[in-house]
């Protein structure tokens, strides 16, 4: 069996969106599954809209997702000489010809065709003239006038196109730039691409490309056209559905493996399994399990998958991933045991890295602000005495362990007759400023004895000053 060669050919006219990332993922997974080759090709022939910034954004997104390539990146704008060679071959073999019809003539023939019930297409008037190359001429492919061109699609099945319905389409513009269909076929032939997985918005291009492959005497690649990704209302996916650039999801605190997991399930399945590691995806991916129905974008499902991937990620890795988000918030955090302990307390409670970073702030800033409602409800004169007792019990602890902390709380409960919740909530607010947090003992253990005592004393002083202010 020949080595599987796939490719991802983005146009650098904007950011890499979810649909493009899914296309890249499917091609990458198949190449990795089959131990083949994955090629990155930049289709930048639209020079008016293509930018280097967009190229950089594509690289940034693919690198973040961990989608690596074996060859490339190739740039179409650097391959014009090769395209010209292939076009000359088509002219020499009678598969293409020069056309000098003006835009006005083209428009007139289209209008005439529509007026007479025909298809608005080029009527072939230059087809058999044998015109020479001139500055204003385009090159057209000589499409067969009869017969059918069949796309054997591994996802959609066979799709037949009547050749008579196809145009003698342009393959070289008058300015010397190749058209999309010519360039991609030449690229795929010269790069040895034999498997093409792409969105089904390309289905109508495929018969033209098949005719070009055949005219060049090249083997046809395997085609698979993936249904589009739609919003929950089954409309074309857009920003109002939550669809943004891939790097925006990175900045929102999603893990790359979670986004890959989410994207692959937009059109591919493996039984009822929802959660996949990267290695599992490579092991289990197949073209046969790509469905024919559109994938529906569900942001809640993405969030749930991200939470699952956060739970499955080693604490040391999570600490590395959350560090930039913490430092953006002025924490001046650094890798090490303390950060890993912080992350461990929040791992099962966080759906995104942003959420984790926000929830971790109280660990890094001792002058925490008390939430007004939390302060009003729990930092009361009634709580001051239990805080005072707890401070004394914690100060007396020699071996600072979780068991010793539990014993300290038990002693206060016994002295006051209060249940744990009545003591714990004021302590929670004192330590974090909030009513919702990781477990009290976890927090104190991470903060350490001295920092925890300082916060408890600060809360006690706050209660006392508030009481005196009221008096």
**For residue 184, what is the domain's CATH number?**
3.40.50.620
Distance from chain centroid for Cα 55: 16
Whether residues 107 and 187 fall in one domain? yes
Question: Could you tell me the residue range of the domain that residue 100 belongs to?
Answer: 79-226
Bigger pLDDT: 447 vs 243? 447
* Across 258-266, average pLDDT: 96
Do residue 62 and residue 90 come from a single domain? no
> Radius of gyration over alpha carbons of the chain, in Å?
32
10 Å CB burial of residue 296 (0-12, 13-18, 19+) is middle
* Residue 240's pLDDT band (cuts 50, 70, 90): low
Looking up residue 318, the CATH number of its domain turns out to be 1.10.8
pLDDT of 374 > 60? The answer is yes
Q: In terms of pLDDT, which residue wins out, 398 or 149?
A: 149
Residue that is last in its domain, among 204, 226, 248: 226
Domain match, 149 and 129 both: yes
| Residues 161-178: tens digit of each pLDDT | 999 999 999 999 999 999
Phi-psi category of 342—alpha, beta or left, where left has phi over 0 and alpha has psi -120 to 50? alpha
Query: In terms of domains, do 391 and 446 share one?
Result: yes
pLDDT classification of 435: cutoffs 50, 70, 90: very high
Q: What does the mean pLDDT of the chain come to? A: 94
**What length does the chain have?**
471
pLDDT in tens, 188-202: 999 999 999 999 999
**Is 95 in the same domain as 165?**
yes
Q: How many domains does the chain have?
A: 4
Looking at the structure, tell me whether residues 221 and 87 fall in a common domain: yes
In the numeric block, the tokens 């004895």 are attached to 449
Say yes or no: 280 and 193 in one domain.
no
Query: Is the same domain home to 104 and 135?
Result: yes
- pLDDT band per the 50, 70, 90 thresholds, residue 131: very high
Report the distance separating Cα 451 and Cα 363, nearest Å.
Answer: 10
Do 217 and 115 belong together in one domain? yes
Among 119, 129, 236, 239, the active-site one is 239
Is residue 94 domain-shared with residue 211, that is, in the same domain? yes
Torsions phi, psi for 56 (to 5 deg)? -65, -40
Model pLDDT, residue 94 = 97
Q: Which of 162, 192, 226 is the last residue of a domain?
A: 226
State how far the Cα of 196 lies from the Cα of 302, in Å rounded to an integer.
27
| 317 among known catalytic residues | no
Given a cut of 90, whether residue 113 has pLDDT beyond it is no
Calculated CA dihedral for residues 217, 221, 222, 225, nearest 10 degrees? -110
How far apart (Å, rounded) are the C-alpha atoms in residues 193 and 31? 11
Q: Minimal CA–CA distance to 366: which of 463, 461, 452?
A: 452
CB of 264 within 8 A of CB of 237? Answer: no
- Asked if 70 and 101 sit in the same domain, the reply is no
Give tens-digit pLDDT for 31-60: 999 999 999 999 998 888 999 999 999 999
Query: Domain of 439: which CATH number?
Result: 1.10.10.350
One domain, residues 407 and 460: yes
Q: Which of 359, 394, 427 is the last residue of a domain?
A: 359
């Amino acid at each position: 069996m020949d080595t599987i060669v796939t490719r991802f050919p983005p146009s650098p006219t904007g950011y890499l969106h979810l649909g493009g990332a899914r296309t890249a993922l499917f091609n990458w997974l198949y190449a990795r599954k089959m131990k083949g080759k994955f090629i990155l090709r930049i289709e930048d022939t639209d020079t008016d809209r293509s930018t280097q910034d967009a190229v950089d954004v594509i690289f940034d997104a693919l690198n973040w997702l961990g989608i690596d390539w074996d060859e490339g990146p190739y740039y179409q704008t650097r391959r014009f000489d090769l395209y010209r060679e292939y076009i000359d071959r088509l002219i020499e073999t009678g598969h293409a010809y020069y056309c000098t019809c003006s835009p006005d003539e083209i428009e007139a023939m289209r209008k005439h065709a529509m007026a007479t019930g025909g298809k608005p297409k080029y009527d072939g008037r230059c087809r058999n003239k044998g015109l020479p190359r001139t500055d204003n001429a385009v090159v057209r492919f000589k499409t067969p006038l009869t017969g059918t061109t069949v796309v054997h699609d591994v996802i959609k099945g066979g799709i037949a196109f009547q050749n008579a319905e196809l145009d003698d389409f342009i393959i070289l513009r008058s300015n010397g730039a190749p058209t999309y269909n010519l360039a991609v076929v030449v690229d795929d032939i010269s790069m040895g691409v034999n498997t093409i997985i792409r969105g089904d918005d390309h289905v109508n291009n495929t018969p033209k490309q098949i005719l070009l492959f055949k005219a060049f005497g090249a083997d046809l690649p395997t085609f698979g056209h993936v249904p589009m990704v739609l919003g929950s209302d089954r409309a074309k996916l857009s920003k109002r559905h939550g669809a943004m650039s891939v790097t925006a999801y990175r900045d929102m605190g999603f893990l790359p493996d979670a986004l890959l997991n989410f994207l692959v399930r937009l059109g591919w399945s493996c039984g009822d399994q929802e959660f996949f590691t990267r290695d599992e995806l490579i092991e289990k991916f197949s073209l046969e399990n790509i469905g024919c129905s559109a994938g529906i974008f569900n942001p809640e499902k993405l969030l749930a998958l991200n939470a699952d991937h956060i739970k499955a990620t080693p604490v040391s890795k999570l600490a590395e991933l959350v560090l930039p988000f913490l430092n953006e918030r002025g924490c001046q955090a650094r890798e090490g045991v303390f950060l890993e302990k912080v992350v461990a307390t929040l791992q099962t409670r966080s759906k995104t890295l942003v959420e984790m970073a926000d929830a971790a702030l109280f660990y890094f800033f001792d002058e925490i602000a008390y939430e007004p409602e939390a302060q009003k409800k729990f930092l009361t004169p009634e709580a001051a005495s239990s805080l005072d007792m707890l401070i004394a019990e914690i100060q007396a602890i020699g071996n600072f362990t979780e068991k010793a902390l539990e014993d300290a709380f038990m002693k206060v409960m016994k002295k006051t007759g209060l249940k744990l919740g009545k003591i714990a909530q004021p302590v929670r607010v004192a330590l974090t400023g909030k009513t919702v947090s990781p477990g009290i003992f976890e927090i104190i253990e991470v903060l350490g004895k001295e920092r925890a005592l300082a916060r408890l004393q600060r809360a006690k002083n706050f209660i006392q000053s508030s009481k005196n202010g009221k008096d």
